[in-house]
Chains A and B, each alone.
Chain A
């Protein structure tokens, strides 16, 4: 089956630092990848749609200068949280578009102190 990995699985950083999260489709190519965030006891909210070789499309209310997305290849998309603050602490999940559905990564728990 289609497998999507995320790295790191967990990260703790100080306020003001930048954090990069990688999302990889291991056994298929994905032209489109998606980034979601999930606050405790809440559902997943789509942050942005990442298309290989072009700029990401951000959902309303998501700051594109704070959440930098790069989709440089058909198997890798990265999300960089720039100048992270405690309110950015959340669970970030990526997915990769397969032939008929999205395949989800295991998620990255970000804690900003």
Chain B
């Protein structure tokens, strides 16, 4: 199972960043998003398509439509620069799968 993400997304400070993640029959799956800043371990920012862990700003949101999931970051600032990964569980192969990651540049 493959999750496809663009290698990079660039956005100006204060604007909205949208990071897509595409996968076959994505709708029934729970999509999770992780943020990884340089030299640090990943941190979950959205789970189960659109839920946000405590401590994650409400500027981070997620949605799924058809075969595409989107992580939306509003009012982007320099602190949001990081690699972002989508992830699902594929029951056909019994494997967790990560997208290739998207580097967000602010």
Query: Do the two chains belong together in a single complex?
Result: no
